[in-house]
Amino acid sequence: MILYIVKRLVLSVPLLVGIATATFFVLHLAPGDPMDMYLEPRFQREMDPEVIEAIRTRFGLDEPIPVRYGKWIRNLATGDLGTSFRYRRPVADLMWERVPYTLQLTVLALLFDALFGISLGILAAVKQYTKLDKVVTLGSLVVYSVPGFWLALMLVLVFSVELGWFPTSQTRSLDYELLSFWGQVADRLWHLVLPVFVLSVASAAGTARYMRNKLLDVLSEEYVLAARARGLRERVVILKHALRNALIPIITIYGMALPFLLGGAVLIENVFAWPGMGTLAVEAVRGRDYPVILATTMLSAVLVVVGNLMADITYAAVDPRVSYEGKVKA
Amino acid sequence: MSLFDLPEGLVAERDRVDRSALLLRAVVPGAAHFALGRRRRGAHLLGYALLMILVLTLRGGAVREAMASRDPGDWLAAAFVILSLLGAVAFSVWDAARIVSDRGRTRSRSPLRIALRRFSENGLAVLAVYVIVGLYLLAILAPLLAPYDPTVIENALETRYLAPSWLHPFGTDEFGRDLFSRALYGARVSLSVGLLAVVVAITLGTVYGAVAGYFGGWLDGVLMRVVDVIIAFPTFFLMLMLVGVFEAGIVFLVLILGFTSWTGTARFIRGEILSLKEREYIEGARAIGLPSHLIIIRHLIPAALAPVLVSAALMVGGMVAAEAGLSFLGIGIRPPTPSWGNMLSAGQDALLVAWWIAFFPGCLLALTILSFNLLADGLRDALDPKTLTRKHL
């Protein structure tokens, strides 16, 4: 097992180098110059060319692209992500500040997603063809189809603007520093309600549909029939015999949710002015902040690779039919 | 031969008269179909023709204007109304003739016909098809239906932020532009970007996967490693980066959305082809010397296409959502060109003063995505051999 993990990790190194190279060159092939964001072109024309050259040298923009690539890769290998053009601070520091905010949203969203998605899915499957099942299947399809960021806007409109129950945006109130410890905790939670709800509701709908289908697949298997024939109670049949097998593909999905943890809330963060990784990435793209764009892309690529590995490992761990070589035994 | 039967020559004569009378009637779209007992198809033809005639009579001025316009979009809308009306007449006559000459023959139940029949029994999926067709019609006919110009700003101080009313069904925005007109034109951008991006993605993925799966060996290895690299990017992130950095226009946006979303199809098609190519009929095709590209195009891809169709329907919804998300972030379609996404972005800025700016485009967006998801669900059920029952055969 450990050998398998090590082998997969070693194999993913060339993959990540490939991704890094592709990202770097695509980014530098793009038209436009980061200098234009730093200084408007009309000012650049009036300025002393030497000053502009000096700025270029400082940001390393004066060197030919292959040299920049070599430097960037070398720094990346030692864990140095470079300095942001826009904030003029190390990219790693910037990301380190933003990550906790995104994690608050996404971890909570995943928890609610699993809790409600799986239980609704089970309920719908057990009560197949009843009204409840129809409401869950159709309702989840509708919810799943509504764009999350629009739902967020509408919820803000109703619950924040009209009713004033929740804040419209930000992570904390203006008087946050004046509150007691528990007041601060409550304030944070109060700001989390809407974004977490929006994030979890759509993915819970997807999970419910998936869970329902998987459980129905399993319920038509012969061993379920056998369990029923032995006179086991329906509750035991479903929870002990069927559910365990139906959960296997669901667990795999959560293994692959790793990249979602950091990159899944781009639009929602934008609606709620939430200072997370998503907002950082969008700002970087808008402002041609190349080091930040490269760093966020690399981070998410690493997460995808590790997430896939985790999914495979959990799959092998929960399903004894799967061996670590990835082949299904007969 | 009994006494009351007509002699043979007269039977032929009766059928000929019958036939030409019917076909004459078919010039009114659907009329002959009603006479032949094909009510459903007749109602569709008649309904469509009436709809187009309604547009021509109610918006005749706009149609004339659009025909004289230099803008190909306007021109297309006018041409579409007239040509599709003529098309409905032609199809009605042709189809009625086909039904008459087919009378008495049993029609074979091809897999396609069986699937269509099963699909048509799924009420929600059929409703979704009507909604999708309706939305695309609105998009194509936008220049004829829009009561105002979507981009011209006049007298903004008087007309800005007007709540929905009969004059402005969706209200007006911060520049006093009519949001109903903008939503119609926005449908053109959003719906065509979604559809075209899927066409790009599916074509690329199918060809790529088929080549990798059919030839196998080192070529397959190389091609699939490339797929691994692309799959390792979170799609929305990749779109964000590419669209943002290249400051993409509409065509480029379609290409980027397509080029970042084909890998799933490629993997799927490759897997299907790997198992299909071992079948005897492919071996037979190879034995008679059919060149590889024809084996792939004629025999392998069609056999693997049904599930791809389902994922294509799902993808259109996803692409429409992706375009809206990017434009919402100010990175996709840029104002003043309206798209549902950038209308939502404007709506967010004005959320406190004018709820309607964000409300209506979002409803259209949700309706579109929901319809495509229902369509995909219906297609999946109709194409699934596991749920096939005797009555459909």
CA B211 from chain centre, in angstroms, equals 27
pLDDT band at B2 (very low <50, low <70, confident <90, very high): low
Mean pLDDT of B52-80: 84
Query: Which chain A residues are closer than 8 Å to B255 by Cβ?
Result: none
Query: Which chain B residues are closer than 8 Å to A308 by Cβ?
Result: 232
Picking from A119-123, A176-180, A270-274, B53-57, which range would have the lowest pLDDT averaged per residue? A176-180
A39: pLDDT strictly greater than 70: no
Share of chain A above pLDDT 70, in %: 92
**What pLDDT digit, counting tens, does each position of B271-324 carry?**
888 888 888 888 888 889 888 888 888 888 888 888 888 889 989 998 999 999
- Residue predicted with more confidence, A325 or B300: B300
DSSP H stretches of helix in chain A: 2-29, 34-38, 41-46, 49-59, 65-77, 91-126, 131-145, 148-155, 181-219, 222-229, 234-236, 243-255, 258-263, 266-271, 277-286, 290-318
Q: Looking at chain A, which residue has its C-alpha nearest residue B346?
A: A153
Partner B contacted by A26 (CB < 8 A): yes
Q: Tell me how far apart the alpha carbons of residues B204 and B211 are, in angstroms, rounded to a whole number.
A: 11
pLDDT of amino acid A329: 40
Model's pTM, two decimal places? 0.86
Q: Are B366 and A146 inside 8 Å of each other by CB? A: yes
pLDDT band at B77 (very low <50, low <70, confident <90, very high): confident
pLDDT of amino acid A323: 60
Instruction: Write the residue in B232, B374, B377 that is nearest to A304 by C-beta.
Output: B232
Share of chain B above pLDDT 70, in %: 91
Q: Tell me how far apart the alpha carbons of residues B244 and A285 are, in angstroms, rounded to a whole number.
A: 6
pLDDT of amino acid B298: 83
Mean pLDDT of B62-90: 86
| Contact between residue A213 and residue A246 where contact means Cβ atoms under 8 Å apart | no
**What pLDDT digit, counting tens, does each position of B345-392 carry?**
888 888 888 888 888 999 999 999 999 999 998 888 888 776 666 666
B241: pLDDT strictly greater than 50: yes
| Contact between residue B301 and residue B210 where contact means Cβ atoms under 8 Å apart | yes
pLDDT of amino acid B386: 67
pLDDT of amino acid B320: 93
pLDDT of amino acid A328: 44
Partner B contacted by A203 (CB < 8 A): no
As for the ipTM of the complex, it is 0.83
Q: Which of A16, A85, A145 to mutate to test the interface with B (most CBs of B within 10 A)?
A: A145
pLDDT of amino acid B208: 92
Q: Are A153 and B344 inside 8 Å of each other by CB? A: yes
Mean pLDDT, all residues of chain A: 81
Partner A contacted by B348 (CB < 8 A): yes
pLDDT band at B108 (very low <50, low <70, confident <90, very high): low
Assess whether the previous peptide bond of B336 is cis (omega < 30° from 0): yes
Q: Are A141 and B231 inside 8 Å of each other by CB? A: no
Six-digit token pair at A36?
A: 């234009």
Q: Work out how many CB contacts closer than 8 A connect A with B.
A: 119
pLDDT of amino acid B392: 60
| Contact between residue B326 and residue B334 where contact means Cβ atoms under 8 Å apart | no
**What pLDDT digit, counting tens, does each position of A62-73 carry?**
777 788 888 888
In 3D space, the residue among B339, B368, B373 whose CA is nearest the CA of residue B190 turns out to be B339
Q: Are B329 and A146 inside 8 Å of each other by CB? A: no
CA distances from B351 to A196, B14, B348, B359 (A): 20, 70, 5, 9
Q: Tell me how far apart the alpha carbons of residues A49 and A51 are, in angstroms, rounded to a whole number.
A: 5
CA A283 from chain centre, in angstroms, equals 17
B94: pLDDT strictly greater than 50: yes
- Residue predicted with more confidence, A233 or B46: B46
pLDDT of amino acid B12: 65
pLDDT band at B199 (very low <50, low <70, confident <90, very high): very high
pLDDT of amino acid B389: 65
pLDDT of amino acid A42: 67
CA distances from B125 to A35, A139, A172 (A): 52, 15, 45
Q: At a CB cut-off of 8 Å and minimum separation 6, what does B137 contact?
A: B51
**What pLDDT digit, counting tens, does each position of B110-168 carry?**
777 888 888 888 888 999 999 999 999 999 888 888 777 777 777 767 777 777 888 77
